[in-house]
Amino acid sequence: MISTSNPQEVINISDDDDDEEEKKDNTWQLDPSQFKLTNPKWTQLVQKLVDENVKKGLGLPPEVSIIASLYKLLFYEKDSHFNFHKDTEKEDGMFATLVIQLPCFYTGGELIVQQNSREHVYDFQKNSQFNAFYGSFYADCKHSVKPITSGYRLCLIYNILCKQRNRHLAASQQGNTVQQLQDEFTRWNNGEYQDTKILYILEHEYTMAGLSFDVLKGNDEAIVSMITNANRDEKLIDCALGIVQKTESGSASCSSYSYYGGGDYEMEDVFDVTLSLTHCVGMDNKEKHDLTSIEIHDNEIFPRDVWDTLEADDESVEEATGNEGATMERRYHTTVLILWPEKNAFNMIMDLKTKHAFSQMLNLLKSLNQTDWFYKELSKEKVLFVTNCCEHFGLEEVKPLIDEISISADLGSLGELAKSIKEEGNPLSQVLFNKFITNRLNWVDSRNSWMSEATPLINILISIDRNKEIEIIAQKLRQTYQQNKNKLDELGSLLMQIGHQFPTNFFEHDRLVHLLNMCIDDLKVETSMALSEASYKLNVKLNCSCKSYIVSQAMSVIGSMCNIQ
């Protein structure tokens, strides 16, 4: 074959590099265009082998549709071998390799396949001149061929491709596991687990080009299938596939030196570790560029000890210069399944650093209603994210969203926003806060009781300590007095509570003095006396005119009662 073939038709792989560490040595190859398989039933036989044997051996469910695509004809002579390597994904949808060894006599040449910490040795040399053999393995498995010690070995190499498929196994095939997953996902959604997200390390590795839910392998396929079935009745979990890169930086020591410079370096102390997502795809297999900007933490990655079992993909060394010692950087890559509760979508989007996240956030918020989880809590971070949405889209576009949130959100949590406004001085946050307060007080005014809002109002006032917000609240209280005098006793009690707890000159504000002037005569005696008592206790915080006025009015009411008696 070698002696009679045109040099253009046969390629000696070892010609690429004379380095003794070359992965392939003295192995010859032909492309499919350079040879012909004349048996008319051969292709049919190979596909039958794939459907009946290879699929089962790879742990794929029966409904998965896979095909074999001829890639190369390899010819090994004496001393030919392959060092350990991984196959690149040469075609769209490729996820595995099939080797069919044709009848030929040889010795040596054992095929060794490594997956994670497991190693399998396949020896096809026995009766090799009379039989054909096959072996198949996932593309991410490291494999090697030991040197041929005598004779010749001839193999057809096929790429195993996955067609578009329904990747979901029937739930009935998965026993109680699906129900257990549903229970756990429900607890996660209900806040029993605090993790925002989980990154589960997959058993197999995938390249950026081959990252897809449609070509998951073995146990990875089974896990996603169970999650999908657990999500079937009610969407509890969102998920995506991603490639995580871990970078370790640290000091390095050289164990041996070369006359020409350089040497063998080892990492000593690690002083910096970074984790990042370099590539992500969603369940629709479309790239999710925005997800690559989320922050990930080591405690979100499972199994916990995964990095201890991985070898670095590459490393670089900065040799010692001057007073600086040598440093080393190692990079690891692994494929993960990213999971987060449906109700955590808000927090996931908040982690994004791209402008596209604002659009996602706005769409998410607009899709909610007042019974949804978001309205149960309105934290500082969430309101600040709405501030960012306003900065990006404009206040007018987001105004309907602000109105909706401010009516239904917990008023007490606005105190956190007030602190943020005070610290950061963001003018737009100030506008938002005023809108939240005004909308909320308008809503409270339509309810039966003001007193449920007393403590939240006090907390907000303590947090902000600003005349502008006091003016808004005082103005709203005044409107309440004018529109509904049946709430005056509640109003007096509310003012008394505020007076007891507010640590600054709350009652000195002109608006509140005017409010007191308007309504104190209409307050019941008990409320006036209580308010008067509060004013005495706040001697340092109230100016004399305001305190004297309140006291004189209260005493007048008491005096009139004495006259009546």
Task: Tell me the fold of 11-162.
Answer: Jelly Rolls (2.60.120)
Residue type, 246: K
Q: Please check the confidence at residue 96 and state whether its pLDDT lies above 60.
A: yes
Determine the average pLDDT of the residues in 243-259.
77
CA atoms within 13 A on the CB side of 99: 23
What percent of the chain has pLDDT above 90?
15
Determine the average pLDDT of the residues in 157-184.
70
Report pLDDT for 207: 81
| 565 pLDDT tier (thresholds 50, 70, 90) | very low
Determine the average pLDDT of the residues in 209-231.
84
Determine the average pLDDT of the residues in 268-283.
86
Neighbours of 250 (CB within 10 A): 15
Q: Please check the confidence at residue 430 and state whether its pLDDT lies above 60.
A: yes
Neighbours of 371 (CB within 10 A): 8
Q: Please check the confidence at residue 170 and state whether its pLDDT lies above 60.
A: no
258-262, 298-302, 460-464 — which one is most confidently predicted on average?
Answer: 298-302
Report pLDDT for 165: 52
Report pLDDT for 338: 92
CA 154 centroid distance within chain? 47
Report pLDDT for 537: 46
243: Cβ–Cβ under 8 A, 6 or more apart, which residues? 206, 208, 211, 277, 278, 279, 280, 333, 334, 335, 336
DSSP letters spanning 39-108: -TTHHHHHHHHIIIIIHHHTT--TT--EEEEEEEEEEEEEEEEEEEE-----STTEEEEEEEEPS--EEE
- Give the containing element (helix H, strand E) for 248: strand 237-257
Report pLDDT for 319: 72
Report pLDDT for 156: 95
CA 109 centroid distance within chain? 45
Give the C-alpha separation, 295 to 277, whole Å.
Answer: 8
Determine the average pLDDT of the residues in 343-365.
62
Report pLDDT for 23: 45
The crossing angle, in degrees rounded to 10, of helices 414-424 and 454-464 is 10
Q: Please check the confidence at residue 375 and state whether its pLDDT lies above 50.
A: no
DSSP letters spanning 249-265: EEEEEEEEE-TTS-EEE
What confidence tens digit (pLDDT) does each residue in 462-496 have? 555 555 555 656 666 666 556 655 555 565 566 65
Report pLDDT for 455: 58
User: DSSP secondary-structure letter at 485?
Assistant: G
338: Cβ–Cβ under 8 A, 6 or more apart, which residues? 197, 198, 199, 200, 239, 240, 241, 242, 277, 280, 291
Report pLDDT for 521: 52
Specify the higher pLDDT residue, 17 or 388.
388
Report pLDDT for 541: 37
| 266 pLDDT tier (thresholds 50, 70, 90) | confident
Q: Please check the confidence at residue 300 and state whether its pLDDT lies above 60.
A: yes
Q: Please check the confidence at residue 74 and state whether its pLDDT lies above 60.
A: yes
Report pLDDT for 50: 93
Surface-to-core class of residue 489, CB atoms within 10 Å of its CB (0-12 exposed, 13-18 middle, 19+ buried): middle
Q: Please check the confidence at residue 343 and state whether its pLDDT lies above 50.
A: yes
Q: Please check the confidence at residue 73 and state whether its pLDDT lies above 70.
A: yes
Q: Please check the confidence at residue 13 and state whether its pLDDT lies above 50.
A: no
Report pLDDT for 360: 63
Report pLDDT for 173: 47
What confidence tens digit (pLDDT) does each residue in 304-321 have? 777 777 777 888 887 767
| 438 pLDDT tier (thresholds 50, 70, 90) | low
- Mean of the per-residue pLDDT values for the chain? 71
Specify the higher pLDDT residue, 163 or 494.
163
Token pair for residue 42? 């051969």
296-300, 384-388, 441-445, 462-466 — which one is most confidently predicted on average?
Answer: 296-300
Specify the higher pLDDT residue, 152 or 453.
152
| 564 pLDDT tier (thresholds 50, 70, 90) | very low
